[in-house]
Amino acid sequence: MLDLIRHRAQSWAVKVIFGIIILVFVAWGVGSNNQSGPGTAATVNGKPILIADFQRELRAEEEQFRGMAPDASAELMKNLRLPERVLERLVVRSLIEQEAKRLGITVTPVEYAAYLRAQGIFNGDDGKFSQKRYEQFVANQGRNIAEFEQSQMRALLAQKMQGYVTSAVTVTPEEARRRLGFELEKRVVSYVLFAADGYRKDITITDDAIASYYDANLAQFSQPATIAVSYLDVTPAALAPSMDVAEAEVDKAYAAGPLQYNIRQVQLPVPDGADAATEDAMKAKLEIVATALRAGTDLAEAAKDLVAEFPDARMGETGMMEARRIPEEILGSLAGLHKNDVAAVVKMENMLVLSQLLATDPDWSQPEETVRAALRLALGEEKASLAFRDVQAQAEDMVAIGKPLAEIAKELKVDIKTTNPAPREELGYALQLRRPEQLSLFEGAKGSLVNGVLETQEGFVVAEIGDTAPAGVKPLTEVRDLILEVLTQREAEKKSEEAARAVIAEFANGIPAAYKDKVITSEPFTRQNNIPGLGYAKALSDAIFASPVDVWMKEPFATSKGAVIAMPTEVIPLNDEEWAKIEARAVEVVLNSKRGQAMNAYIADLHKKAEVLVPHKELFGQ
C-alpha cells in the first residue's frame, strides 16, 4: 500500500508543483509564420524563443538522457520526441514569465540573496555567505554566474507563480481518503485457468502457414542498411595513462585524501534561539542514531524515532560528490574514517549533521599502491583535460592529411575500438556523438577515414569505415523458429479460450464437480491490473472490480497464461488501521495532485489565449 502511495507521489501531477511542467503542445495547436526572424525557434505572443536557446536546452536534454540510457536506440530517441518536449517547456516558461509580469510578480535581488543564504552550501567557515564558495560552486557546474543566476531566478519565479495559482487549493483527510480509498481498495478472485501451454503439444504448424505468415509480415522482418566503424574514442580519461605525472604530485594527492565521497547523512535543523541545553539534547538524539548505524541497522529503522520526534529531520545519501564541493566541517569529520564508519556530529550554521561514510573514490580501503595508481590516473586525466584542445587540433591535422587510423592511434596513444554492424542512425548513440547530423559523414569505402573529428559527449572520435550491408529482409530460414513460436502460441491461446467457452455455462449454478480441485484463489490486489498468479491482465482486472462477488463471470478472459473463468470472492476496502499509517502522506499526495491540476489548467488557459508561432517546424520533425 505504501508503494502505491509512493508511486502516486512520483506522478506527473505531483511533480508539477515542483516545477516539472509537461503539457501536450500539439493538442492546443501551433501556428506557422515564416515572417519570424531566422534565429527564432518560436514566438509566444510575439516574444521570441531563440533557436540558440532551444538548441542549448535540447543538447542538455539529450546529454542527460544518454547519461541515463547510453544504449538507447535511435528509434527510442526518436519516439521520445525530445525536440518537441524541449519546445513545449520553453513555451510554458515564456507563458509563465509573461503572466507573472502582467500580475506584477517578480523575484527581487533581495529575495534571491535570501534564497542563496538559505541554501547553506554557499556559507564560509564563519557561517556567512561566501562569494568565493558561491563562484566555485557555479564554476563546478560548468556555467557562468549570469547563466546560473538567470536559471535560478526563473525557477524561483515559477515557484512564486505556482504559489499564487494554487494558494486556495486545499484538501481534507476525508477527501483524500475518498480519492485514494477507491484506488487502494483490494479484491480477491477465484479462477480456473485453462493453461495455453497444455494445448501446445497437439498443435502442428505447417510450412505453408509459416510461409504465409512470413509473406504477410515482411515489414516485420526487414532490416536496415548497416555499417560498422573502427574508431578512436579520445577523451581525457583515455589520454590519462599517457600523461606524465610526477611521483611528488601523487604524494600530494594521497596526503589530501579521496577525490570523491558518498555519504549517508541525517540533518537536524536547530530551532532559532535554541539554547545550549536544547542543542546538546538534539546531539544526544543523533548519537543514538549513530550507535544504531554502527551496529549495522538500516538508516530508516535507526532514525525512525528521531523523525517521529523531529518531523523536519532529513536523511539520505549524497551519491558520489567531489571533495571540493563538500563543506569543510563535514569533510573534516570524515578524516580517517573507513567504509561504514560514522562521524561525530557537526554543526553547520543552524543544522546538526550526522554523516556515515559509505564509499570513496578512489576506494581508500584498497592497498596503498592501488589507491596511488587511481590517483595517478585522475591526475593524468586532469592534465589531459588542460591539453585536450591541442590534442584535438593534432588529430584534425592527421585526419586532414589522410594518416591511417592505426598511425593516429599510435600517435595519440589511444586504443582502436570497433562497433558491431548497426543502422547508421544508431552509430550516433554508440559513439555518443554530440551532433547527430554528423552521421551524414559516414560515407565511403571500407578503410576510408570519416572526414574530420567528431565531437562526443566527453571528447571526440576519429572514425574509419568498416563493413557495410544494404537494407533488406531477413530470410525465412533465419526467422522460421520465431514464426513457429508465434503461430504455436496463438493457436494454443485459441484452443485455451475454446475450451473455457465450452464449459463456462456449467459455472452458472456453481463450480462444476470436475473443476473443484482446479480452482485457484488469488492474493488480494489493487486496481493496478496485475493479478497475482496471472500477471498483467487489464481487461480481467477491470471486470473483477466491476462485478459482484460470488458470481462467476459469464465470459472467459484471456491472460498471458491462457483463458480463465473467474469469480470475484472478496472486496477489501481500505480500513482505519491502514489509513492511519498513510494519512499524512496521502493528504500530501492528493494536495499536490490538486495543485498540479490547478496549475495545468491555468497554463492550458494561458496557452489557449496565446498566439504561438513556429516558423521552422523542420527543427521538430514536423
* Alpha-helical regions (H) of 387-475: 388-400, 405-412, 424-430
What pLDDT shows up at residue 394? 95
Distance between CA 81 and CA 280 in Å, rounded?
A: 54
Angle at 9 between CA 8 and CA 15, to 5 degrees: 110
Set of cell numbers at residue 503: 464449459
Residues, the chain, total? 622
pLDDT at 347 over 70: yes
- Residue 332's DSSP bridge partners are none
The helix (run of H) or strand (run of E) holding residue 170 is none
Sign of the alpha-carbon torsion through 243, 249, 251, 254? negative
pLDDT band, very low/low/confident/very high, at 328 (cuts 50, 70, 90): confident
Contact 549, 559 (CB under 8 A): no
Nearest to 36 by CA among 619, 622, 616: 616
Distance between CA 81 and CA 471 in Å, rounded?
A: 25
Nearest to 269 by CA among 311, 308, 303: 311
Print the SS3 string covering 569-590. Answer: EEEECCCHHHHHHHHHHHHHHH
Q: Name residues whose C-beta falls within 8 Å of residue 610's C-beta, 6 or more positions apart in sequence.
A: 44, 45, 95
Burial status of residue 334 (CB atoms within 10 A of its CB: 0-12, 13-18, 19 or more): buried
Nearest to 349 by CA among 364, 327, 371, 373: 327
Sign of the alpha-carbon torsion through 127, 132, 133, 135? positive
- Residue 191's DSSP bridge partners are 520, 566
pLDDT band, very low/low/confident/very high, at 308 (cuts 50, 70, 90): confident
Average pLDDT taken over every residue of the chain? 85
Average pLDDT value for residue range 546-562:
95
Task: Please give the order of strands across the beta sheet that includes 612-613.
Answer: 47-50, 40-44, 612-613
Q: Name residues whose C-beta falls within 8 Å of residue 384's C-beta, 6 or more positions apart in sequence.
A: 236, 237, 239, 240, 243, 391
77: number of CA atoms within 13 Å, CB side? 24
For residue 333, CA distances in Å to 237, 255, 341 come to 31, 16, 11
What pLDDT shows up at residue 619? 60
Contact 233, 417 (CB under 8 A): yes
Flag the least confident range among 189-198, 204-213, 223-232, 562-571. 223-232
The helix (run of H) or strand (run of E) holding residue 562 is strand 562-572
pLDDT at 379 over 80: yes
Average pLDDT value for residue range 323-341:
87
What pLDDT shows up at residue 79? 78
What pLDDT shows up at residue 72? 67
pLDDT at 16 over 60: no
What pLDDT shows up at residue 73? 65
Distance between CA 129 and CA 114 in Å, rounded?
A: 10
pLDDT at 480 over 60: yes
What pLDDT shows up at residue 437? 64
pLDDT at 2 over 80: no
For residue 57, CA distances in Å to 33, 328, 430, 563 come to 23, 34, 22, 49
Distance between CA 89 and CA 97 in Å, rounded?
A: 12
Q: Kindly list the structural domains of the chain, giving each domain's residue range(s) and its CATH number in brackets, ordered by start.
A: 2-169+586-620 (1.10.4030.10), 186-222+476-572 (3.10.50), 226-239+382-470 (3.10.50), 260-361 (3.10.50.40)
Distance between CA 59 and CA 455 in Å, rounded?
A: 13
What pLDDT shows up at residue 390? 92
pLDDT tens readout for residues 19-55 = 322 222 222 233 333 344 457 888 999 999 888 788 8
Distance between CA 558 and CA 555 in Å, rounded?
A: 10
Torsion angle in degrees (nearest 10) through CA of 407, 413, 414, 415? 70
More confident residue, 456 or 409: 409
Distance between CA 169 and CA 591 in Å, rounded?
A: 7
Average pLDDT value for residue range 14-22:
30
Average pLDDT value for residue range 519-532:
94
Q: Name residues whose C-beta falls within 8 Å of residue 417's C-beta, 6 or more positions apart in sequence.
A: 230, 231, 232, 233
Number of helices and strands (H, E) in the chain? 24, 21
Q: Which residues of 430-460 are buried (b: 16+ CB within 10 A; e: fewer)?
A: bbbbbeeebbeebeeeeeebbeebbebeebb
pLDDT band, very low/low/confident/very high, at 297 (cuts 50, 70, 90): confident
Query: What percent of the chain lies above the pLDDT cut of 90?
Result: 53
Flag the least confident range among 4-8, 286-290, 342-346, 406-410. 4-8
Distance between CA 63 and CA 388 in Å, rounded?
A: 20
Highest mean pLDDT among 232-241, 418-427, 611-620: 232-241
- Residue 462's DSSP bridge partners are 232
Set of cell numbers at residue 21: 511542467
Read off the pTM.
0.56
Q: Name residues whose C-beta falls within 8 Å of residue 53's C-beta, 6 or more positions apart in sequence.
A: 41, 90
Q: Name residues whose C-beta falls within 8 Å of residue 297's C-beta, 6 or more positions apart in sequence.
A: none
